[in-house]
């Protein structure tokens, strides 16, 4: 019970500190008056905590929790690290890391969610996947950790182990302890195949450097095989950078704006298609899901907003921004999003993701691996075992054929 009270104190202080930011941003006065009014409320509550709380509180811990919550309330990538956390993070980042468990994670409302588990990774073999919650790493509660440190703790020497506490997506009442052995993870290659009715299928699971070029080779090969329509599968694509996503979009979009980057103190920077890099005009449908994020979202948004193709599946995660690390005088650090990527239509991807043209929820039970009942089978996809792909094919077949 006492721990719950402490947690409530931290949440309350977090909320009040967030009010300071919101009040300053939305207040009628451009001066600091509105911000100071919110700060006075926070100061009063903090004073009450010190004088009336059930026991002498750890004000340093309360303040750190408030700062962490304030930054995390802005977006999934902004965070505050105490001096000790930042020192540990820098140490982990500097150490040789030959292994990891293959998890891509994000944090919202204090909860660490698994976005994706890379195919063939220790995490995927353990049945972890989209929607599962990561509660602890080696006995450290993830609610108390900034996201960059949480990700760094998952990495380590190949062959070493890490103990996780997870809460399954469809078993929210139960926690499960899992020990994983870190290993070297290979980024999945871009794959393609020619389906019935001359539909070319391309699957891009990551957007690390060179993946757009790989996709170009697959598209050319499918065209030589006689493909007359294309389906681009970006489900689970949460690895890589926006520049690679722009290159992938440029393969399909021959001219005009693909995206732009802008922030409060960052002037707008446009990213336009290079006509020499476009390689196909074939009708196109993109498949996305709630794990599609970052560069893959930029690809999907560019194709959709430029009327180059449609999107089938689920609303994407919403994660495309540039960050800046700010070192503080006491050794702590703030990682702050300073610019967002915007769709050609003018909407920030981080604010709302990409809504599909045709929404089709995935059915993870349809092709589960017998050994890992919580993870969809990563084997060969086909319209017979993949309802989303089936709908994408139906949609792209309805498009008028064009020259490659």
Q: Do 119 and 130 form a contact (C-beta atoms < 8 A)?
A: no
Q: Between 63 and 275, whose confidence is greater?
A: 275
Does the domain formed by 84-181 have CATH 3.10.129.10? no
The per-residue pLDDT for range 99-138, each reduced to its tens digit, is 999 999 998 888 999 999 998 999 999 999 988 999 999 9
pLDDT the model gives residue 193: 96
**Mean pLDDT of the region 146-172:** 89
| pLDDT score of 377 | 42
What pLDDT does residue 380 have? Answer: 65
Q: What is the pLDDT of residue 13?
A: 45
Q: Which of 133, 167, 129 shows the shortest CA–CA distance to 150?
A: 133
What pLDDT is attached to residue 64?
Answer: 79
Band (pLDDT 50/70/90 cuts) for residue 43 is confident
Higher pLDDT pick, 59 / 22:
59
pLDDT of 366 over the 60 cut: no
pLDDT in tens, 194-230: 999 999 999 999 999 999 999 999 999 999 999 999 9
Degrees to nearest 5, angle at CA 216 with 211 and 222: 125
Virtual torsion, Cα 287, 292, 293, 297, nearest 10 deg? 10
pLDDT, tens digit (0-9, with 9 covering 90-100), for 281-304: 999 999 999 999 999 999 999 999
**What separation in angstroms does the CA of 199 have from each of 7, 118, 120, 194, 325?**
54, 26, 27, 6, 45
Q: What is the pLDDT of residue 221?
A: 98
* Residue 18 · residue 70 · CB < 8 Å: yes
What value does the mean pLDDT take over residues 379-385? 71
Q: State percent of the chain over pLDDT 90.
A: 64
pLDDT for 55: 85
User: Rounded to whole angstroms, how far apart are CA atoms 324 and 45?
Assistant: 31
Q: What is the pLDDT of residue 379?
A: 53
Mean per-residue pLDDT over the chain, rounded: 85
Q: Is the pLDDT of residue 88 over 90?
A: yes
Structure tokens at 189: 């290659």
The model's pLDDT over 251-266, given as tens digits with 9 standing for 90+, comes to: 999 999 999 999 999 9
Count of beta carbons in the 10 Å neighbourhood of residue 316: 29
pLDDT at 60: 79
Q: What is the pLDDT of residue 28?
A: 45
Distance, in Å, from the CA atom of 299 to the CA atom of 244, rounded to the nearest integer, reads 9
Phi-psi region of 313 (alpha: psi -120 to 50; beta: other; left: phi over 0): left
Task: Report the share of the chain in percent with pLDDT over 70.
Answer: 84
- Is pLDDT at 8 greater than 70 in this prediction? no
Domain boundaries, given as residue ranges, for the chain: 2-73, 84-181, 191-323+339-397
- pLDDT (0 to 100) of residue 36: 61
The model carries a pTM of 0.84
In this predicted structure, the answer to whether residue 42 has a pLDDT above a threshold of 70 is yes
| pLDDT of residue 324 exceeding 60 | yes
| Domain 191-323+339-397 belongs in CATH node 3.90.1150.10 | no
Q: Which has the higher per-residue pLDDT, 379 or 10?
A: 379
In this prediction, residue 38 carries a pLDDT of 66
Residue 391 has pLDDT above 90, yes or no: yes
258: tokens are: 């693909």
**pLDDT (average), residues 359-383:** 56
**Per residue in 308-318, pLDDT tens?**
999 999 999 99
What is d(CA 158, CA 99) in angstroms, rounded to the nearest whole number?
Answer: 4
- Quote the pLDDT of residue 72: 83
Same CATH fold, 191-323+339-397 and 84-181? Answer: no
What mean pLDDT comes out for the span 84-95? Answer: 92
């Amino acid at each position: 019970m006492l721990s719950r009270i402490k947690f409530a104190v931290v949440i309350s202080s977090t909320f009040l500190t967030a009010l300071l930011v919101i009040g300053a941003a939305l207040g009628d006065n451009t001066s600091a008056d509105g911000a100071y009014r919110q700060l006075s409320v926070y100061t009063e509550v903090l004073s009450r905590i010190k004088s009336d709380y059930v026991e002498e509180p750890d004000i340093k811990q309360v303040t750190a929790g408030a700062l962490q919550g304030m930054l995390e309330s802005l977006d999934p990538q902004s965070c505050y690290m105490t001096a000790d956390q930042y020192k540990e993070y820098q140490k982990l980042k500097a150490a040789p890391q030959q292994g990891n468990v293959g998890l891509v994670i994000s944090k919202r409302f204090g909860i660490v969610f698994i976005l994706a588990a890379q195919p063939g990774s220790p995490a995927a073999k353990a049945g972890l996947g989209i929607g599962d919650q990561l509660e602890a790493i080696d006995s450290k509660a993830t609610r108390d950790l900034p996201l960059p440190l949480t990700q760094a703790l998952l990495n380590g020497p190949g062959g070493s182990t890490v103990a996780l506490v997870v809460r399954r997506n469809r078993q929210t009442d139960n926690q499960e302890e899992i020990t994983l052995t870190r290993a070297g993870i290979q980024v999945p290659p871009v794959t393609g195949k020619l389906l019935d009715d001359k539909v070319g299928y391309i699957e891009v699971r990551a957007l690390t450097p060179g993946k757009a070029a790989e996709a170009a080779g697959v598209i050319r090969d499918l065209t030589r095989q006689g493909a007359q329509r294309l389906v681009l599968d970006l489900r689970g694509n949460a690895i890589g950078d926006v520049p690679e996503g722009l290159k992938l979009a440029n393969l399909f979009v021959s001219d005009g704006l693909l995206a732009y980057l802008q922030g409060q103190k960052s002037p707008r920077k446009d990213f336009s298609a290079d006509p020499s890099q476009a390689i196909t005009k074939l009708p196109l449908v993109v498949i996305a899901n709630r794990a599609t994020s970052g560069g893959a979202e930029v690809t999907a948004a560019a194709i959709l907003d430029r009327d180059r193709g449609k999107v089938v599946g689920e609303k994407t995660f919403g994660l495309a921004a540039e960050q800046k690390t700010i070192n503080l005088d006491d050794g702590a650090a703030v990682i702050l999003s300073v610019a967002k990527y915007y769709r050609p239509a003018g909407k920030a991807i981080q604010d709302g993701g990409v809504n599909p043209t045709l929404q089709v929820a995935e059915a993870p039970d349809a092709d589960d691996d017998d050994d890992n009942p919580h993870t969809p089978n990563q084997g060969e996809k086909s319209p017979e075992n993949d309802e989303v792909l089936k709908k994408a094919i139906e949609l792209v077949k309805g498009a008028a054929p064009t020259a490659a």
